[in-house]
Structure 1
Amino acid sequence: MNLDASLRMSMKELLDCKHPTAWIEFEKGLIDEVELERIFFKDGRKFDLEGLKSCVRDGYSYIEGVEELLSTLKDNGYEMHAFTNYPIWYRMIEEKLKLSSYLSWTFCSCILGKRKPDPLIYEEVLKHLDIEPQNCVFIDDTMKNVEAAKEAGINGIQFKNADSLQQDLSLLGVSFPSINTQKQEHKI
C-alpha cells in the first residue's frame, strides 16, 4: 500500500505534517471520516479522502498461501477472529477479500475503542472468548503486538509468510489434516 504516493508526499513529509493523533482516534472509532478529513493535517489542508480510501482498498490482497491456510484451519474446526487496529475501513477489506468466510471480525479497534498493544485489549479478548490464554494463539506481523500477547499468557507468533506460519502453528500443536470432524479447542 503506497499511502504516501496517494497523498503526493514522502512518508517523512506525511509524518511531519499529519495530526499527531487523528489516525489513532479514527482507528479507535473516536472520530468518523468527516472529522478525520477535517483534522488529518495539522495545518487543516484538504486532501483526497476518497483517493486515500481507494489506495487502502487497492492495497489489500491475500498473501500467497494465506487463503488456503485459513480455509484448512476453518475446515478443521479452528475458531478464528480478526484482532485488528483497523478503522471502520475494515469493511472495505471485508468487501474485497470476504475474510468473514474464514473468521469473525470480532476484535476491531474501531468497535472496541482500544488498540494493540494495549494490555487491556488482550484481557478483553480472553474474557470475551472465555478461554485460558494458553489455549489461544495470537498472530501478528508486528513484534510489539506479539510480545504484548505473550505478556498476557497467549501463544504469540510473528507472521512472516504462510509456510512459516503453518510450521509455527504445528509446533503449538495445531493440526493440518485435510478433514477433521472433531472441533479443536484452540482459538486463533
Structure 2
Amino acid sequence: MVGYQIKNIVFDIGNVLVRWSPLEIARLTFGSESKANEMAPRIFQCETWAELNEGKLTEKQAMQWYQTELGLSEQTVEMLFFYIKESLIPVYGTYDLLGKLKKSGYKIFALTDNVVEIVAFLKQRYDFWAAFEGAVVSAEVGCLKPSADIYNELLEQYQLVPNETVFLDDVLANVQGAQKAGIHSIQFLNIFQCEEELKSMGVKY
C-alpha cells in the first residue's frame, strides 16, 4: 500500500506519446546508414539544436545554420525538417492511457524539451494536446530537462504537489531530475511496463 495519492500525471512527449528517433530521421534524409550515423550527432547533439529547444533560435534560423555550418543544401535541410515532423508517429498505447487517466479524474500535463514549430505541428496533427490541463515546453521557458528549473516551473505554474504527481519520461536522467524535485517518476519503456508501474503507485483507471 502506497503512502501517497497520485492526482497528477505528467507526460513527456518524445518516445512517450510520439516516436522520436534522430538516427531514423537522418537515415530518411541522407539515405545511407553510414551517412546517417555521421550526421545525426552533428545535427541533434550540437548547440544549435539545444538552442532551438530552448527557444533561443527559430526553426528558420536553425535551418540556415545547418546550411552555413554543416554545408547542407537548402533542399537537404528542408527534407530534414520535413522528416523531423513527419516521423513523429504515435507510440503504441499511450494516447489511450492518457484518455483513460483523464476520464478517471486525474489531471494530465505535459513536460517536454521541444521546439515551438514542432509543438505547433503536433497540435495540428494530433488531438492529444487538447487533453492537457497545462504544458511546460522548454522553448517557451528557456530551460531543458533535467535542469531543476523546468520541474520547478511545472510545479509552480500549475500549483502541483510533488508527492501527488508522477512524471513519465523515456530518458533516465530526466526521470532522476524529476525525482530530485520530489516528483514520482517512471522511466517509460513501453505501455505495458508503464501501466504496471502506475498501478503499483496506486493509480486506478
Match of 2:29 in 1: 7
Give percent identity, aligned residues only: 24
Give aligned pairs, total: 176
Match of 1:32 among 46, 50, 58: 58
What's the offset of the Cα at 1:15?
A: 2.5
Instruction: Kindly indicate whether residue 48 of structure 2 is the aligned counterpart of residue 22 of structure 1.
Output: yes
Taking structure 1 as the reference length, the TM-score comes to 0.84
Write the letter of the residue equivalent to 2:79.
G
Q: Deviations over 1:56-106 (max 9, x none)?
A: 222122222212111101111111111101101122122222212422561
Report if aligned partners of 2:25, 2:87 keep a CA contact under 8 Å in 1.
Answer: no
CA distance in 1, matches of 2:44, 2:107: 38
Write the letter of the residue equivalent to 1:7.
T
Taking structure 2 as the reference length, the TM-score comes to 0.78
Higher RCO by CA contacts (8 Å cutoff, separation 6 or greater): 2
What's the offset of the Cα at 1:145?
A: 0.1
Q: Point out where structure 2 has 5 or more consecutive residues left out of the alignment.
A: 1-20
Q: CA distance change for structure 1 residues 174 and 57 in 2, over 3 Å: closer, same or farther?
A: same
Q: Point out where structure 1 has 5 or more consecutive residues left out of the alignment.
A: 177-188
What CA RMSD, in Å, does the superposition of the two structures yield over aligned residues? 2.0
CA distance in 1, matches of 2:86, 2:60: 21
Instruction: Kindly indicate whether residue 80 of structure 2 is the aligned counterpart of residue 52 of structure 1.
Output: yes
Match of 2:167 among 119, 138, 148: 138
Report if aligned partners of 1:140, 1:146 keep a CA contact under 8 Å in 2.
Answer: yes
What's the offset of the Cα at 1:50?
A: 3.0
Report if aligned partners of 1:23, 1:40 keep a CA contact under 8 Å in 2.
Answer: no
Looking at secondary structure, tell me which structure has more helix per residue. 2
